Amino acid sequence: MEKAGCSISDNFMKAVHCDKQISGGYLRGEGIMVCANYMNLQDEVNQVVIHELIHAYDDCRAANLDWTNCAHHACSEIRAGHLSGDCHYKREILRGFMKLRGHEQVSFPLISFLLFLWLSLLIIFFSVCVVFC
């Protein structure tokens, strides 16, 4: 992260007790949290840290990243999902999803919807831009 131009503090990654059943998350300005009370295996912790580090890197490198913008958030989720190996077939089998083909379609149904929404908004934006620009 520092080589990419982003400084990180000593407590950039934290193991915390979470009230909601989530594995962890990344918060701008606070860093990565791993919900220790929902992690059973070291591999789960590793996966969460890798996934959230990708979000942190995106946040570091994209000057105009707006986490409240669905398209920006979806893009980072897709990158984190694919680069971290979240959708790898072995991980899907461990989750109880036994198909070897088509696992990515089920793994990210929300992301697929957000990507569709983002593309629709881009089409609308460029249509408006052609008329008014």
Interior/surface letters 16-25, b for 16+ CB within 10 angstroms, e for the rest: eeeeeeebbb
Q: State the 10-residue block means of pLDDT for the chain, 133 residues long.
A: 83 93 90 91 89 92 86 86 74 60 54 64 59 46
Among residues 52, 77, 92, 104, the one annotated as catalytic is 52
Torsion-angle region of 120 (φ positive above 0: left; ψ -120 to 50: alpha; else: beta)? alpha
pTM: 0.68
pLDDT the model gives residue 62: 85
The reply to whether 52 belongs to the active site is yes
pLDDT the model gives residue 15: 94
pLDDT the model gives residue 133: 42
